[in-house]
A and B are shown apart, each in its own frame.
Chain A
Amino acid sequence: MGLLAAITEAWQEVRVHRVRVVLSLVGVFLAVFAMTTITAVGRMGAQMLQESSDRSQGRAATLQLDVYSSDGSSTVDAESMAQLRSVVARHGIPWSSLTGSLQFPARLPAGTKLVSGTIVEPRYGEMHRIQVLQGRWFTDADTDRFAPALVVDQQFADGLGGFDPAAPPTVVLGGDTPVRGTVIGVVDDRNTDGVSAWVLPGDVERWISADTTYGSAQLGMQVWVPDRDAEALQQVLQQELTASVPGGNAGVYRYDSGEELGVVNVVLAYGVRGIGIFALVLGGIGVLNVGLVTVRQRIREIGVRRSFGATSGRVFFAVLFESVCATAAAGALAVLLSVAIISNLPLSLILPQGISLTDVPPYPWEAALEGFLAATAIGALAGLVPAVMAVRAQVIDAIRY
């Protein structure tokens, strides 16, 4: 009950002195607001960089495995595909996709066009954050169809007169030995020049690569592995692949740009936090300043409360409480404002053309909590000096005139 009385009384004090409380808080409020908002915006920026890099180069950590035959070319043949698959299977890597590129002609209504194709397996979609606009991405069931399946970009789909999921369009591929393929989905493609399509390696082997007019297909494999395993795996895979290609050679290298992006996170984690703490300390000095100025005015009031039987502990608590309460409230308000602004950002209007954010990062609640706690702690520190002064004030001096 004593504690409840102490808190109620202190809270009443805060309400009576709200003007001075609010005045002392501007610094802390701005510091917490800036810290949380910058962190949130930074996270979004990092996420954007990450996503665009994931699309082109794969997520961290993506390793590229290449097998070259003795003549130096890497071709799509059953043998090297089997080699790559067995190496990956031996290490129990769940996320892998054969990948390569080839060019093939497609007979669009407006005439034959050369398509830049990417050889992929179903998992590639997740590994490269492929965004499906219409239809769907490949599934494992697509690997044994009777005709090649294609996922195409918007330009390709437009060339076919649009995409209707109920009646998937077909298109004739290849030159001398044409085959009719079915378009199963349309995806968002950042590579805006030329017509693009994604095809499965089995289909390429069976139907498309027969046509070598436009150069043979290049094939390798990408695996998505935990970042910390990447380096060790890279070496082991390199050795095993080399050994399994008699007379040929193999290369395993890191494909994504995870390491460079790490820098952004370090800047966010330490740079922004460092500046934020500095700003908070400045805000705390503001609180301390107001506290020191007003403690003199409060001495009389404290003397009166002493006459009611206020103990030193109670006096100390009341002064400290005002400071802590005030900075905590300022911190909470700053966080709320920051959340409100960040979660209502019109991203589609702000972001430059061609950059998007699929996975909008969640509001950095740890940063918000950190800001809030830091503000409260600053309040406690800044309230300490006035609280000690209040306790040490002589009651008699306080109430004499």
Chain B
Amino acid sequence: MSVVSLNGIGRSVALPDGEVLRILTGVDLVVEAGEHVAVVGRSGSGKSTLLNLVGLLDRPTSGEYLLDGRPTTGMSARRTAKLRGATFGFVFQQFNLLPGRSATDNVASPLFYGSSREFLRRRSIARAMLTRVGLGGRLDTMPEKLSGGEQQRVALARSLVRRPRVLLADEPTGALDVDTGSAVMDVLEELVREDGTTLVTITHDLAVAARADRRFRLDHGVLTQLDDAALHGATADRSAP
């Protein structure tokens, strides 16, 4: 069964001058369990907005979003928050680690929202997760003292520590150099494969997109699936609808 199913999703915001900005229009997207999907698009095309909608951080202004076949509209804010924490893991471009807290504390932070078992054993779970991303030697290091690649691996460990069914990565290599970025992607893909996690990656980077099972392109709020030919063609802008 498909995990995420978006039908004609639109998202618009009212601008201060009274105009309505349509960030997303008529987005259809179905993601199957365990699948790896990539979304490419230029800056400002609505990629983050789309990912936030999928992750229940934001709500669409039109269309229907089914999560595990169940509608998400009309759910209470509290229920939405719980469902978000239990279902999704997020990796951000800017890592967004909590300053002043060690790598272990950062990775343990989502476990405060999990089951009693997760809360009580949070430190050992966090350490095991950090070891999995190859940071078993930097458990007590503060994020400020880590390199960019290491910080993103801490963020990756944190996003996966509650064993989410869907990992949402918003330009995970965007702040890293090419080699570091691809090393982080290696770790990410390995973990995701081991756990059978569904992965939605947003990226500028065609090399990153090329690793996905299916690729989409977002242009001015409109989502289209790419075929491999279009991806390998030089201009990503001129894709067929």
A binding-site residues for B, Cβ under 8 Å: 1, 4-6, 8-9, 12, 16-17, 300-301, 303-314, 395-396, 399-401
- Per the CB 8 Å criterion, the residue count for chain B at the interface is 31
Give chain A residues whose Cβ lies under 8 Å from the Cβ of B82: 309, 311
Interface residues of B in 191-206 (CB under 8 A from A): none
| 27 A-B residue pairs with CB within 8 Å | A4-B119, A5-B112, A5-B113, A12-B105, A16-B100, A305-B109, A306-B81, A307-B57, A307-B84, A308-B85, A308-B113, A309-B81, A309-B82, A309-B85, A310-B81, A310-B113, A311-B78, A311-B81, A312-B77, A312-B78, A312-B81, A314-B113, A395-B58, A396-B48, A396-B58, A399-B92, A401-B94
Give chain B nearest CB distance to A312 CB in angstroms: 6
Pair A396/B52 contact, Cβ less than 8 Å: yes
Cα–Cα distance between A12 and B108 once the two chains are bound (Å): 12
**Min CB distance, A390 to chain B, in Å?**
14
In the assembled complex, which residues on chain B have CB atoms less than 8 Å from the CB atom of A300?
A: 96
Chain B neighbourhood of A309, CB < 8 A: 81-86, 110, 113
Q: How far is the CB of A395 from chain B (nearest CB, A)?
A: 5
Chain A residues whose CB sits within 8 angstroms of the CB of B85 once the complex forms: 308-310
In the assembly, what is the distance between CA of A173 and CA of B198, in Å? 111
| Distance of A313 from chain B, by nearest CB (Å) | 7
**Interface pair A311/B93, CB less than 8 Å apart:** no
Contact string, B66-97, partner A, CB cutoff 8 A, digits 1/0? 00000000000110011111101010111010
B55 contacts the other chain (Cβ, under 8 Å)? Answer: yes
A304: nearest residue on chain B (CB-CB)? B96
* CB-CB under 8 A for A308 and B109, given A399-B96, A401-B93: yes
Q: Decide: A9 and B57 in contact? CB cutoff 8 A.
A: no
A312 surroundings in chain B (CB, below 8 A): 77-78, 81
A12 cross-chain contacts in B, Cβ below 8 A: 101, 105
User: Does B98 reach chain A (CB closer than 8 Å)?
Assistant: yes
Residues of B close to A311: CB separation below 8 A = 77-78, 81-82
Q: Which A residues are CB-close (under 8 A) to B49?
A: 396
B116 to chain A, nearest CB (A): 4
In the bound complex, CA of A29 to CA of B82 (Å):
38
Give A4's nearest chain B residue, CB to CB: B119
- Extra contacts, 20 of them, besides A17-B100, A306-B84, A395-B57 (Cβ < 8 A), are A5-B112, A5-B113, A8-B112, A16-B100, A16-B101, A304-B98, A307-B55, A308-B110, A308-B112, A309-B83, A309-B85, A309-B113, A310-B85, A311-B78, A312-B78, A395-B58, A396-B49, A399-B92, A399-B96, A400-B48
- Give the one of B49, B82, B84, B116 with max A CB within 10 A: B84
The 8 A-B residue pairs with the shortest CB-CB distance, nearest first, are A309-B85, A308-B110, A1-B116, A311-B81, A9-B112, A16-B100, A309-B113, A307-B90
- A121–B235 Cα distance when bound, in Å, is 115
Q: How far is the CB of B188 from chain A (nearest CB, A)?
A: 17
Q: Which residue of A lies closest to B83 (CB)?
A: A309
* Interface residues in B96-130 (C-beta closer than 8 Å to A): 96, 98, 100-101, 105, 109-110, 112-113, 116, 119
Shortest beta-carbon distance from A8 to chain B in Å: 7
Distance in angstroms from B160 CB to nearest chain A CB is 12
Which residue of B has the minimal Cβ distance to A308? B110
Q: Which of B57, B83, B84, B98 contacts A396 (CB 8 A)?
A: B57
Q: Are A301 and B98 in contact (CB under 8 A)?
A: yes
Q: In the assembly, what is the distance between CA of A401 and CA of B43, in Å?
A: 12
- Please report the C-alpha to C-alpha distance between residue A12 and residue B48 in the assembled complex, in whole angstroms: 30
By a CB distance below 8 angstroms, the chain A residues around B113 are 5, 308-310, 314
Report chain A residues within 8 Å CB of B88. 307
Residues of B within 8 A of A9 (CB): 109, 112
Which residues of chain A are near B105, meaning CB under 8 Å?
A: 12
- Chain A residues, Cβ within 8 Å of B81: 306, 309-312
CA distance A53 to B94 in the complex (A): 74
A5 to B93, CA, bound (A): 28
Q: Considering the chains assembled together, what is the distance between the CA atoms of A8 and B118 in angstroms? A: 14
> From residue B141, how far is it (CB to closest CB) to chain A in Å?
15
Give Cα A271 to B166, complex, Å.
Answer: 63
CB distance from B161 to the nearest CB of A (A): 10
CA distance A34 to B81 in the complex (A): 45
Q: Enumerate chain B residues within 8 angstroms of A310, measured Cβ to Cβ.
A: 81, 85, 113
